[in-house]
């Protein structure tokens, strides 16, 4: 174990989102206030209560993975490998010159290979156990994206997955940060991916009454902070970050998107699926992250919220922000990029971290779209419908998961 006062920075990012493949398309889509929602095409959703989702569009797996390897990966794994490939290439790191035993991966998924499970269960029911694909388990398990990323590049450092529902990829980033701080690696790929738009995925979330059923206007269904919000919109995709020390990045002349200045995590210890109504667990995570960063609430410029578009969740998070930030809550911008890309479950935090870093890069806060009638209980600046140019030095990013898992990151402009 080594010194823990190293500064950890992000030098590579990758994003596959329903509004754009790659960081440039993703940013452009956010600046245009684009909605990624549409009617489901992955299967016939006629009999479902929710018939729309934010599907990943224009993804060509052949751009990233050979055909044989792709056949042995669930889509969530394909997305993860592609996002990691983007981040590594974006970082400009020369893998051939590195000690790859010092290059690790922490990459998660909240659900894993749900599509593979659906397909193979039907195969089992129609043909019996001998018809199940021998790659069924290796395609299904949530850790396999981390394994595939390591095998693709020969990365022999710390390697595992996090699974904490919708906080999954923020926890992956937190773990990567701590691994670097403690000196167990020099470079880390981290993030998460998800491909939950399947029959059982949609049916399951419909059963929990968590999904919007605005089937007549899918592009307007994800509407955090609007008084007519009725649930989240399921999304799919992936996000990846390459982390290293500031010293390393400066030595090789890398482009630095920002510093990961602080992290926090907590539990609500309250309910299976509902957040604490006053956001007590969220407050603990945010306070911990600011303490880790050594900053006060008054230094935060922008909060990228969990903001799922659920009646309880949106209000609880805003209550936590107001409780913690006090009068400064009126001076920050908050926004939910889920209004555009939907809720990517275990991948949400990583994709939103990319949005935070691009907000710092462009000194612009992405909007919360689809706010037609702001909930009167939401009395903060939610950056409605249009992006906002402003000084962005510190960004706080929240992610919360079923089971009461809370995670917060703070990114800092370098």
Q: What is the mean pLDDT of the chain?
A: 96
Output the pLDDT for position 235: 98
Output the pLDDT for position 1: 44
Q: Is the pLDDT of residue 312 over 50?
A: yes
- Least confident range from 158-162, 173-177, 377-381, 402-406: namely 402-406
Question: What is the token pair recorded at 55?
Answer: 């599907």
Looking at the chain, the whole-number percentage of residues with pLDDT higher than 70 is 99
- Least confident range from 55-69, 114-128, 234-248, 270-284: namely 270-284
Active-site residue among 54, 77, 166, 190? Answer: 166
The answer to whether residues 399 and 192 touch, using CB atoms and an 8 Å cutoff, is no
Task: Give the tens place of pLDDT for each residue, 371-385.
Answer: 999 999 999 999 999
Cα(80)–Cα(107) distance, integer angstroms = 8
What is the rounded average pLDDT of the residues 392-411? 96
What is the rounded average pLDDT of the residues 170-197? 98
User: Interior CA angle at 255 toward 303 and 413, to 5°?
Assistant: 30
Output the pLDDT for position 239: 98
What's the predicted TM-score (pTM) here? 0.97
Domains of the chain (ranges; CATH) run: 8-251 (3.40.47.10), 264-412 (3.40.47.10)
Task: Give the tens place of pLDDT for each residue, 234-286.
Answer: 999 999 999 999 999 999 999 999 999 999 999 988 888 777 878 789 999 99
Cα(50)–Cα(271) distance, integer angstroms = 25
Nearest C-alpha neighbor of 191 from the set 203, 204, 176: 176
For residue 267, count other CB atoms closer than 10 A to its CB: 14
Q: Is the pLDDT of residue 221 over 60?
A: yes
CA 343 vs CA 64, 212, 374: distances in Å:
24, 11, 20
Task: Give the tens place of pLDDT for each residue, 93-106.
Answer: 999 999 999 999 99
The answer to whether residues 246 and 254 touch, using CB atoms and an 8 Å cutoff, is no
Whether 77 is catalytic is no
What lies within 8 Å, CB to CB, of 196 at 6+ separation is 110, 111, 114, 202, 205, 234, 236, 345
What is the rounded average pLDDT of the residues 309-338? 96
Q: How confident is the model at residue 32 (pLDDT cuts 50, 70, 90)?
A: very high
CA 36 vs CA 40, 59, 65, 86, 290: distances in Å:
11, 14, 24, 21, 32
Q: Is the pLDDT of residue 333 over 80?
A: yes
Output the pLDDT for position 195: 98
Give percent helix, percent strand, percent coil of the chain, each to the nearest 5: 40, 20, 40
């Amino acid at each position: 174990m080594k010194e823990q006062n190293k500064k950890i920075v992000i030098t590579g990012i990758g994003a596959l989102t329903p509004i754009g493949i790659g960081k440039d398309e993703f940013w452009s889509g956010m600046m245009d206030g684009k909605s990624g929602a549409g009617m489901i095409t992955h299967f016939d959703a006629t009999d479902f209560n929710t018939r729309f989702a934010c599907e990943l569009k224009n993804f060509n797996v052949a751009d990233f993975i050979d055909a044989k390897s792709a056949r042995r990966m669930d889509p969530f794994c394909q997305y993860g490998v592609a996002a990691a490939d983007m981040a590594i290439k974006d970082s400009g790191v020369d893998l051939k010159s590195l000690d790859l035993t010092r290059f690790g991966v922490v990459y998660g998924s909240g659900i894993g290979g749900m599509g593979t499970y659906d397909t193979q269960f039907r195969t089992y029911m129609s043909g019996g156990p001998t018809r199940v694909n021998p790659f069924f388990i290796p395609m299904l398990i949530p850790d396999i994206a981390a394994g595939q990323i390591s095998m693709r590049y020969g990365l022999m450092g710390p390697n595992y997955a996090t699974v904490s529902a919708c906080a999954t990829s923020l926890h992956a980033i937190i773990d990567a940060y701590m691994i670097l701080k403690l000196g167990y690696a020099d470079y880390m790929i981290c993030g998460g991916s998800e491909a939950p738009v399947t029959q059982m995925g949609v049916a399951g979330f419909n059963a929990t009454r968590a999904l919007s059923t605005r089937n007549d206007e899918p592009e307007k269904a994800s509407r955090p902070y609007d008084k007519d919000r009725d649930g989240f919109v399921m999304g799919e995709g992936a996000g990846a970050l390459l982390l290293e020390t500031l010293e390393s990045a400066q030595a090789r002349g890398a482009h630095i998107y920002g510093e990961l200045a602080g992290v926090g995590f907590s539990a609500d210890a309250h309910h299976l699926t509902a957040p604490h109504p006053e956001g007590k667990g969220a407050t603990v995570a945010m306070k911990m992250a600011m303490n880790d960063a050594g900053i006060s609430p008054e230094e935060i410029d922008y909060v990228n919220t969990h903001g799922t578009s659920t009646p309880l969740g949106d209000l609880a998070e805003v209550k936590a922000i107001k409780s913690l930030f006090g009068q400064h809550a009126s001076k920050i911008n908050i926004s939910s990029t889920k209004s555009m890309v939907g809720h990517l479950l275990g991948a949400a935090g990583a994709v939103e971290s990319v949005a935070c870093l691009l907000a710092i890069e462009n000194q612009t806060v992405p909007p919360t779209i689809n706010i037609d009638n702001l909930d009167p209980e939401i009395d903060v600046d939610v950056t409605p419908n249009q992006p906002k140019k402003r000084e962005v030095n510190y960004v706080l990013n929240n992610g919360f998961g079923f089971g009461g898992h809370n995670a917060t990151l703070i990114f800092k402009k370098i």
